[in-house]
Amino acid sequence: MLRFSKQMKRWFAWILLPGIYIVVLLLLQEKLLSRHTQSLLVPLCMNIILALSLNIVVGMLGELSLGHAGFMSIGAYAGSLFSLQTQEYLPTLLRYPLAILLGALVAGFFAGVLSVPVFRLKGDYLAIVTLAFGEIVRSLIINFAWTGGAAGLKGTPRDTTFTTAYLLTVFVWLLSQKIYHSRLGLEMRAVRDNAIAAEACGIDVINRKRAGFILAAAIAGSAGVLYSHYYTILTAGVFDYNRSIEILVMVVLGGMGSMIGSVISAMTLTIAPEALRFLNDYRMLIYSLLLITAMIGRQSRIFGQLQQRLKEVKRPHGAIE
């Protein structure tokens, strides 16, 4: 039986991650990728980041958030506005990482503010409130003048390349691994499994929920900066609840709580609609059917076994410390 031991995982991290990068870079250099495929590389990274970040809330905390695109847009606008202001004074090498950091911080700040009232409530309120939050953010951005309004924010420097997107993806991947095995991650998973018992065991449930929520929002914010510095034109319309649902589907399809699952399903769901382009008018129809089949299929035995193998059930105890 194939088991993912700790050593194999280290292998995965140190050989596979740079390996993928080098292969893609070579393909780009040799011009072996079509323009179309090339244009998918950054969105692919972006979706992986978004799925991994939402997985913190949905998979590790067990809370339903439907406003992830809202945090992404906050990050995107914060990063873009910063870059537009400082474009003339700061070199790209300094400005771009700062923009990402700022995007993450601003999105995290908004999540922090939102989490104060939300986590006083129990149950499905988070889903409702975050859904509303995403829509409020979108309509505010459309109506403000300094965000470019409905016409959008133009002129953001095109700083995002495959390299930067890939670097951020790897960073987020390693970060979410770290979180999962950390004390915070352990406590978050305990809260997910049984909040009442967690409280009785001395875990500050509300605090842990807030921490996870803020972290996820901050990562989504950084993905937003990636987005705005790739497309250079920013309109609030793209960050509607459909986008949030899309991210949620990636997490759910990947098996909630499974990070590798999130990555694989984010990749599949980014590529699938493009790969189905040859179907023309029937594209979205077939895509929806595939999605439904996949959702049903993931409960089947074969998929379950596969997932069990990928899941880190067998884990040396030192990992938690």
Asked if 317 interacts with other proteins (CB under 8 A), we say yes
**Cβ 200 to other proteins shortest distance, Å:** 5
CB within 8 Å of 235: residues ≥ 6 apart: 148, 150, 151, 152, 153
> Is residue 153 classed as helix, strand or coil in its secondary structure?
strand
Asked if 1 interacts with other proteins (CB under 8 A), we say no
DSSP 239: G
Q: Which is nearer to other proteins, 41 or 205 (CB)?
A: 205
Asked if 196 interacts with other proteins (CB under 8 A), we say yes
Q: Which is nearer to other proteins, 128 or 186 (CB)?
A: 186
Per the CB < 8 A criterion, the answer to whether 228 and 220 are in contact is: no
Alpha-carbon distance 176 to 296, whole Å?
Answer: 27
Asked if 314 interacts with other proteins (CB under 8 A), we say yes
Asked if 175 interacts with other proteins (CB under 8 A), we say no
Q: Which is nearer to other proteins, 179 or 220 (CB)?
A: 179
* Binding residues among 223-262 for other proteins as defined by CB under 8 A: 257
Q: Please, what is the angle between helix 162-181 and helix 35-55, to 10°?
A: 20
**Which one of the spans 30-38, 72-80, 111-119, 199-207 is the region binding other proteins (CB under 8 A)?**
199-207
The 3-class secondary structure across 98-142, one letter per residue, is HHHHHHHHHHHHHHHHHHHHHCCCCCCHHHHHHHHHHHHHHHHHH
As given in the structure block, the two tokens for residue 273 are 């609609």
| Amino acid making up residue 80 | S
Identify each DSSP E strand in 14-81 by its residue range.
none
Which H or E run includes 282? none
Asked if 194 interacts with other proteins (CB under 8 A), we say yes
**Which one of the spans 157-165, 179-187, 211-219, 271-279 is the region binding other proteins (CB under 8 A)?**
179-187
Per the CB < 8 A criterion, the answer to whether 18 and 166 are in contact is: no
String of contacts with other proteins for each residue 108-147, x by CB under 8 A:
----------------------------------------
Asked if 192 interacts with other proteins (CB under 8 A), we say yes
* Binding residues among 4-63 for other proteins as defined by CB under 8 A: none
**Which one of the spans 10-18, 106-114, 186-194, 286-294 is the region binding other proteins (CB under 8 A)?**
186-194
- The Cα-based distances of 151 to 144, 236, 244 in angstroms read 11, 9, 22
**Cβ 209 to other proteins shortest distance, Å:** 13
As given in the structure block, the two tokens for residue 256 are 């909630």
Among 47, 110, 187, 222, binds other proteins (CB under 8 A): 187
**Cβ 1 to other proteins shortest distance, Å:** 16
| Amino acid making up residue 41 | L
Query: In the complex, which residues of this chain contact other proteins (CB under 8 A)?
Result: 183, 186-187, 189-190, 192-194, 196-205, 257, 313-315, 317-318, 320-321
